[in-house]
Amino acid sequence: MPYVSLDPAHNQVLQTYTSWDANHLAGALEKAGAAQQSWAQTPISRRAEVLHEVAIHLRVQRDQYAALITQEMGKLLREARAEVEKCAAGCDFYAQHAEDYLRTEAVKTDAGKSYVAYYPLGVVLAVMPWNFPFWQVFRAAAPALMAGNAVVLKHASNVPQCALALEAIFSAGGLPPGLFTTLMIEADQVQDVIASHAVQAVTLTGSEAAGRKVAACAGQHLKKCVLELGGSDPFIVLRDADLEFTANMAVESRFLNCGQSCIAAKRFILVPEIADAFLQAFRSKVEALKLGDPTQDDTQIGPMARLDLRETLHQQVTDSIAQGAVALTGCKPAERNGYFYQASILDHVTNKTRAYHEELFGPVAIVIRAASEEDALQIANQTRFGLGSSIWSQDIERAEQLATRIHAGCTFINGMVKSDPRLPFGGVKASGFGRELSQQGIREFVNAKTVWIRQVRATER
């Protein structure tokens, strides 16, 4: 089955690519393994030089790569530019900090000398999604490469041009051949890659269903695994929140990337004192969003990435309305060519509706009215997901206390959830396990090796 690159704004096929056969795949994995053996012996200072060169290349060619992202998955062009810039910053961050993060640590024990040293695992398989087709890859690849690993990428099937561009970018930065390789394979070949003797670990960003399959296969073959899966992040608005500021941030938090983000705010949980006033401000701002061509600077809502994604989203919305939710605004596809969906708000979502329990991956905000602050916290935790969360309040001390009770990988207070190379990123429950970014992220794919030394005197021999 070929890879198909398709422009979602115009419903036009851009390019097709033939998937690799088993022999091609095996050859690429063996080459990656050989490249990793040499790279592991390369001084970390040299690895940093290469990653800095990758960052320079990204910045010089930013507009070219941004245009490719926009064309292939529909992201607003200005958001695509920001994504490329973030990739460059991520490369620079790990080039600067990896040596400190991986420095050998002396530990006082009963030995004459003992320490923990960090060594690469080998070849890491990265199974990556389409919604941030550059950043998701770089946030996994930059630390893995700096740690001395090789990376083989199985990218989403609808962004093959981005996948091939990523390999070219690392090559242009001076990475040795084979050390970062895009595998043009089908999803059902992933299990063969995990099983291969050439691969030592796997990291996946994607759906809960994909995560379960990859985790099961990795467990079967005793391979290290990190999963960053779906999310249904709560956005809790308390009675003392600055409503104008919070409504502005709510729009950005929900509708960035056309709402197609695992860490987008999805469940807007409102206490009764401010529910109507917040919704009035929020609705007016959502209805003012301009839907259109993602290459135009004034467009605020572009197309969804695929037709099937739009159809799934609309079915979730219509089912929820039939179950009692109220369509406050939008809640239907836009009447134009391409895979557009109106910026939407579903009000009065309850635990009897589909939207309450599922992740809505698109430009639809769901509103859940809590009976109290305590009820809002309980609702926030009534989900199988646990990726991000946010609390909006002017009482910072109180908000911090409440944050400790939310079951999620992160809680932001008066700010939208985002990934930052300086902070660990990941979830709990069905949102996955393990961490990306920061020191914790680079240490996921190393062998923390204990070395214990006794000085033996002649009389002890």
Point out the catalytic residue in the list 72, 83, 228, 359: 228
228, 151 contact by CB (below 8 A): no
Point out the catalytic residue in the list 87, 162, 262, 410: 262
Dist CA 12 CA 361 (whole Å) = 22
Among this protein's residues, is 460 annotated catalytic? Answer: no
Q: In terms of Cα–Cα distance, which of 453, 441, 455 is closest to 118?
A: 441
Backbone angles phi, psi at 204, to 5 degrees: -135, 135
Dmax over Cα atoms in the chain, in whole Å?
A: 89
Distance of CA 339 to the CA centre of its chain: 22
Q: In terms of Cα–Cα distance, which of 41, 136, 40, 80 is closest to 441?
A: 136
Among this protein's residues, is 91 annotated catalytic? Answer: no
* Residue 426 to residues 226, 358, 408, 436, Cα–Cα distance (Å): 9, 19, 9, 6
Dist CA 132 CA 75 (whole Å) = 9
- What are the residues whose beta carbons fall under 8 Å from the beta carbon of 64, sequence distance 6 or more? none
Catalytic residue positions, numbered: 228, 262
